Amino acid sequence: MTQLTQSEIESIENKLRQRQHALLEEIRAELDERENQHLAAIMDNDPGDSCDISLADVLADLNIVRVDRQINELREIETKLAQVRAGNLNECADCGMEIGLQRLLAYPTAMRCVSCQERHEQMYAHEGHPSL
């Protein structure tokens, strides 16, 4: 497995955080005033580093169907950020082989190498997953 350089890791992490931020903005825009206050209260309780709580879980608990898509993507991002911290962000979740750097830069939340992803999509094709 190729070790990613610090700057490669940082550029992937930056992409993830930008996307995370954009998703939270989208979610906020979807929420009504009451839900927004609820969310703001949750986020205010967070002691600084939001890494250790899952905002996706918190939001899923609010059970707001219209932001389901955003919450799912947020969850993927949180999973990937955990891998960044664990130092295995380029390890395929299925076969343990390396996920190429170019693939990670193009799809920062990619959990699988290209061949495992193709197999996964064939298995779950009927669910209409977007092609990575």
Site of interaction with Zn ion (CB under 5 A): 92, 94-95, 97, 113, 116
**Integer CA distances (angstroms), 98 to 2, 6, 37, 81, in order:** 7, 17, 42, 17
Residue type (1 letter), 6: Q
* Closer CB to Zn ion, 97 or 132, in the complex: 97
Please, which residue, 95 or 105, has the CB nearer to Zn ion? 95
* Cβ 131 to Zn ion shortest distance, Å: 16
Residue 38: name the closest of 66, 58, 52 by CA.
58
Q: Which is nearer to Zn ion, 51 or 123 (CB)?
A: 123
Helices (H), 31-67: 33-45, 55-62
Cβ neighbourhood burial of 104 (10 Å; 0-12, 13-18, 19+): buried
CB of 98 to Zn ion, least distance (A): 9
Residue among 34, 27, 82, 35 at smallest CA distance from 54: 82
Q: How far is the CB of 82 from Zn ion (least distance, A)?
A: 19
Closest approach, Cβ 23 to Zn ion, in A, equals 26
